[in-house]
């Protein structure tokens, strides 16, 4: 079946090939991005994670050609964006909504007028623009705040307006650049839930840029890790999260507190990943009861997300090999991922 935009349904909605972006520097040029290859499937929530300065914003701005790559290709629904210009490029850009850390709302306009703005630019009639803006503000839970100005709204509400605005032109992709980085944890959760809803209900592909692993493990299906302008790892979230192969990935995936554990002095440390298990299931108690040996919880960062446990723990298992084997077997039988923490990262 043909997907919207003419491509085949199973081909990536966005395909980035050998993308490079360099800026003129003092004397020699500075590479912000180098040799980037990414395939983003239609309907995915695709995470891109990296430290500050890694090149995330540059990459997301190359995806909608706000920045022109200095080499390589950005293929959107089968068309090379670098070869488009004028109306065709504007139309492709309108197919990708974008939200930002600082919301970027027009302060002199109400929520409703902010959402209507891109429709005005696209030449949609006033009445139709208003109808569509109201519908979108309802959808993001701001039906009662349509007449409020940004200064009268909380951070989370401002981001909801920005999301409604980004969806106004019925995009097929939503680009989110650190969309929750200015928000507190509870508001972050609610905005991530909204993005997940939009993805599920409207089938919009989301590209989620962040420096926080918890954002990735809450909503993304796939993740790419960017370090110094290069993609160092990519794959399904469970795979990258559970088996980080590079030092850059380990640093992002393992929380700081965990990285500082004296791995060389503590033996038998294992990482236990919670992803998708019921939070009502007392995993550690069951493990101790069934295996008949104690474990020491060295670190825990787990959260309940609507009845599902996510996050990770570090356990110190007993010295006796037979006890450890009992625990490993029990964990395997219960589909619980236990990974030994190595002291030397295999980079
Ligand atoms: N317009 C620009 N001119 C020169 N250098 C830039 C420009 N934009 C970004 N850079 C450089 O590119 C690198 C990546 O920046 P950015 O994409 O903003 O990273 P991130 O979003 O991951 O924090 C940084 O070293 C930054 O200084
Ligand atoms: Mg950035």
Q: What is the C-alpha to C-alpha distance for residues 327 and 296, in angstroms, rounded to an integer?
A: 13
pLDDT digits (tens, 9 = 90+) for 62-100: 999 999 999 999 999 999 999 999 999 999 999 999 999
* Torsions phi, psi for 110 (to 5 deg): -70, 170
Q: Which residue has the tokens 């002095």?
A: 265
Q: Which of 24, 48, 55, 210 to mutate to test the pocket of ligand 1 (most atoms within 8 A of CB)?
A: 55
The closest residue, in CA terms, to atom 4 on ligand 1 is: 23
Domain-embedded: residue 201? yes
Task: Compute the distance from residue 298 Cα to the ligand 2 centre, in Å.
Answer: 33
Give the CATH number for residue 288.
Answer: 3.30.70.260
**What is the domain count for the chain?**
2
345 domain-assigned: no
Centroid of ligand 1 to alpha carbon of 68 (angstroms): 14
Neighbours of 250 (CB within 10 A): 19
Please report which confidence band the pLDDT of residue 9 belongs to, taking 50, 70 and 90 as the band edges.
low
Q: pLDDT-based confidence at 8, cuts 50/70/90?
A: low
125 and 196 in a single domain? The answer is yes
Residue 242 above 80 pLDDT? no
Residue 262 lies in a domain: no
Nearest atom, ligand 1, residue 25 CA = 4
Looking at the predicted structure, is the pLDDT value of residue 345 above 60? no
Residue 185 and residue 56 share a domain: yes
Q: What angle do CA 286, 292, 297 make, to 5 degrees?
A: 60
Q: Is pLDDT of 214 > 90?
A: no
Q: Which two tokens stand for residue 273?
A: 């990943």
- Residue 90: alpha-carbon gap to chain centroid: 25
In-domain check, residue 3? no
CB 49 within 8 A of CB 210: yes
User: Quick one: DSSP state of residue 268?
Assistant: S
Contact between 304 and 218 under an 8 Å Cβ cutoff? The reply is no
């Amino acid at each position: 079946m043909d997907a919207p935009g003419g491509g085949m349904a199973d081909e990536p909605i966005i395909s980035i090939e050998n993308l490079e972006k360099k800026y003129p520097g003092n004397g020699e040029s500075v590479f912000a991005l180098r040799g980037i290859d990414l395939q983003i499937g239609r309907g995915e929530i695709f995470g891109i994670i990296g430290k500050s300065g890694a090149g995330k914003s540059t990459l997301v701005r190359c995806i909608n050609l706000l920045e022109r790559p200095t080499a390589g290709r950005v293929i959107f629904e089968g068309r090379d964006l670098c070869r488009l210009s004028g109306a065709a490029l504007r139309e492709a850009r309108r197919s990708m909504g974008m939200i930002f850390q600082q919301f970027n709302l027009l302060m002199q306009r109400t929520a409703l007028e902010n959402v209507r703005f891109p429709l005005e630019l696209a030449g949609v009639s006033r009445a139709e623009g208003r109808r569509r803006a109201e519908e979108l503000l309802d959808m993001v839970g701001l039906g009662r705040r349509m007449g409020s100005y940004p200064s009268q709204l909380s951070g989370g509400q401002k981001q909801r307006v920005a999301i409604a605005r980004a969806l106004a032109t019925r995009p097929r992709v939503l680009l989110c650049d650190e969309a929750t980085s200015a928000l507190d944890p509870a508001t972050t959760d609610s905005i991530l839930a909204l993005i997940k809803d939009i993805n599920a209900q409207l089938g919009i592909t989301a590209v989620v840029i962040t420096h926080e692993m918890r954002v990735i493990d809450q909503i993304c299906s796939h993740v790419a890790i960017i370090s110094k302008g290069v993609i160092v790892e990519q794959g399904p979230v469970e795979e990258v999260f559970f088996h980080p192969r590079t030092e850059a990935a380990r640093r992002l995936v393992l929380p700081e507190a965990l990285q500082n554990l004296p791995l060389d002095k503590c033996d038998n440390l294992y990482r236990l990943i919670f992803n998708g298990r019921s939070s009502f299931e007392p995993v550690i108690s069951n493990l101790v009861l069934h295996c008949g040996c104690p474990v020491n919880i060295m670190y825990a960062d787990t959260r309940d997300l609507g009845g599902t446990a996510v996050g990770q723990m570090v356990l110190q298992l007993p010295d006796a090999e037979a006890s450890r084997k009992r625990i490993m077997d029990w964990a395997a039988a219960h589909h619980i991922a236990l990974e030994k923490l190595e002291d030397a990262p295999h980079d």
